[in-house]
Structure 1
Amino acid sequence: MTIANQFVTGLSIGAVLLLIALGLTFTFGQMGVINMAHGEFIMAGAYTTYMVQSFAGDQAVPVALPVAFLVAGGMGLILERLLVRRFYGRPLDTLLLTWGVSLVLQQLAIDLFGAPNVQVTAPGWLRGGFDLFGVTVLYNRLFMMALAVSGVVGIWLYLTRLSAGRRMRAVMQNRQLAAVSGVATNRVDQLTFFIGSGLAGVAGVALTLIGPVGPQIGTYYIVDAFLVVVAGGLGQLRGAVIAAVALGLLNSYVELWTNASFAKVVVFAVIVGFLQVRPQGLFVLRSRALT
């Protein structure tokens, strides 16, 4: 049943990638910002959980979820207001800018918490697992999948049922037309950055369930998250879901037969090959344009 067990592991990896990529889907897809500091928002969520543990004990994970969302979202909002807003329309400049910010935040984490990794104690109800037709399903992996599903449903409801979400979709489809139609694009950008960064913080909370927390925790996942966004199609929620699950399963099975480093190489090579065939990703935003 090893192959079946790896399927569950792959789904949990895909769930984490999806939580991370949900924010990038909109900041990159809508605003054209290549935010390399997104990984440090993951780190902020993880360290928030570690700090919450000091008063919440082994219930730190559920208590930290809303706190991490607000902390990481606030960091993203500050980054957008102080720096990123000056570089809209210049994606390569945003890459260099946010890469520098990520290095500063990593050093700040080292100064505050130290270089050694720290550990977060999982709640008792997230320890252990159960057997399902001979497959071992761990409670913490199941919780991560539930978080990802909740994130997708929440974003879908926000985009389709709320006026703020419809304004976000309008800016994503045609920023200039939305602006002349009365949509406050600056406020939409702020809210988009806040939500996207907050979701990264939630992903950081989830990552504390499967390993220690360190200053480089975000850098391990940020490249894969960008691959999910590009492969799924810029700004496409369903594409991000499919790409995240596919990459998680691919990484899990390749790692089973080889090792973690080689699995990263294989995943990257597969995505590069896929983009050679379909450079626009799985799905593309349809719009009317003059030809």
Structure 2
Amino acid sequence: MDSFALISNQIFNGFSVASIFLLAALGLALSFGLMRVINMAHGEMLMLGGYFAFLTMQIIPGGMGLLVALPVAFIGAAATGGLLQTTLISRLAKRPLDTLLATWGVSLILQQASRDIFGAIGVEVQAPTWLDGGIQITEGIFAGVSLPATRLFIIAVAIFVLIGLTLIFRHTRIGLLIRAVNQDRMMAAATGIEVKRADLIIFCLGSGIAGLAGVVLAILGPVTPSVGQSYIVPAFLVVVMGGLGSIAGTTIAALMLGLFSALAQIYVDVSMAQVLLLVFVIIFIQFRPQGVIAQKSRALDV
């Protein structure tokens, strides 16, 4: 394989990595932008999505199982996130440090519970046969480039989620209410908008998207109790770099970090690529502390 094909393959891999980063980070961006809450248990929503996919595909094996697993994981993770928000986060919303510590404790509890139920080694999710192939380019300047169907599926899921969020926020009443709360929380409450309801909806939505990330990760490797922790740090980096609360900024940041990580692995190993990724984010924030896109909102003023 020549260098051009190698770089082209890594660029494609970068887009698939960016898709995973985006799915993992969107929930954090939404919850922090609206509620100023740092959810340390967000990675466990991703983990739960993987386990929901495993259980679903035990009941419905084959290609249809994966398609059913996506809504099941979304609903299951969203319901878990809603339970967490109503029982814990809503009571600690005005105490950010307590919220951070409490959700970290929930993270540890969920990890241990998954070890007790599924074991510490992890469970395998068998990808359907229609994801075994891919697109092989054998002629032209892109000869040697391989586009696995699994990676194409992950990118398609991320695009579908972005389109869905855009339609919700721009063309539905609940989207309008959420945008109002995000712009000015106190004024929205003064006009009669149920701010707590908006918080619950956005937290459930973010947790459900993390559950979808767990499904796509499950077809790439085993689902383990600590799988969410592997992606929570990159997710935080994406949110910080994208601009707190900005979906467009989060998308651009995920693309930048995914491509940077994939291209760096051409020259260095995975561990060094992660170090370089962190250095890249630190340097970027030094020159643009507001992130890729500065979100105009009074939610962060107080």
Shorter-chain TM-score tier: over 0.9
What does residue 117 of structure 2 align with? 112
Aligned Cα root-mean-square deviation (Å): 1.5
When normalised by structure 2's length, the TM-score is 0.93
What does residue 52 of structure 2 align with? 48
Percentage of pairs with the same residue:
46
**Ranges in structure 1 where 5+ consecutive residues have no aligned partner:** none
Indicate whether 1:236 and 2:251 are aligned: no
What whole-Å deviation, never above 9, does each CA across 1:94-132 have from its counterpart, x for those lacking one? 221111110000000001100112111111111121124
Indicate whether 1:67 and 2:72 are aligned: yes
CA contact (8 A) 1:116 1:214 kept: yes
What whole-Å deviation, never above 9, does each CA across 1:182-213 have from its counterpart, x for those lacking one? 10001101101110000000010010121111
Q: Distance in 2 between matches of 1:243 and 1:280?
A: 12
Indicate whether 1:39 and 2:53 are aligned: no
What whole-Å deviation, never above 9, does each CA across 1:228-287 have from its counterpart, x for those lacking one? 111111111111111001101111111232121111111111111111111111111225
* Matched residue type, 2:18: G
Matches within 5 A, 1:151-190: 151-190=161-200
Q: CA deviation at 1:9?
A: 0.6
What does residue 253 of structure 1 align with? 263
Indicate whether 1:83 and 2:81 are aligned: no
Q: Which segments of structure 1 move beyond 4 Å, counting only runs of 4 or more?
A: 287-290
What does residue 234 of structure 2 align with? 224
Q: Tell me the SS of whatever aligns to 2:147.
A: strand
Q: Tell me the SS of whatever aligns to 2:146.
A: strand
Cα 1:177–1:264 shift into 2, 3 Å: same
What whole-Å deviation, never above 9, does each CA across 1:128-179 have from its counterpart, x for those lacking one? 2112432100001000000000111110110110010011111111100100
Q: Distance in 1 between matches of 2:118 and 2:105?
A: 20
Q: Distance in 2 between matches of 1:288 and 1:106?
A: 36
Q: CA deviation at 1:288?
A: 8.0
Q: Distance in 2 between matches of 1:139 and 1:236?
A: 30
CA contact (8 A) 1:32 1:89 kept: no
Of 213, 223, 227, which residue of structure 2 is paired with 1:213? 223
Q: Tell me the SS of whatever aligns to 2:61.
A: helix
State how many pairs are aligned.
Answer: 290
Q: Distance in 1 between matches of 2:182 and 2:98?
A: 20
**Ranges in structure 2 where 5+ consecutive residues have no aligned partner:** none
Indicate whether 1:265 and 2:282 are aligned: no
Cα 1:243–1:138 shift into 2, 3 Å: same
What does residue 7 of structure 2 align with? 3
What whole-Å deviation, never above 9, does each CA across 1:39-92 have from its counterpart, x for those lacking one? 000000001111112121123321100000000000100000010011213322
Indicate whether 1:147 and 2:152 are aligned: no
* Matched residue type, 2:180: A
Of 85, 100, 106, which residue of structure 2 is paired with 1:101? 106
Cα 1:111–1:288 shift into 2, 3 Å: closer
Q: Tell me the SS of whatever aligns to 1:241.
A: helix
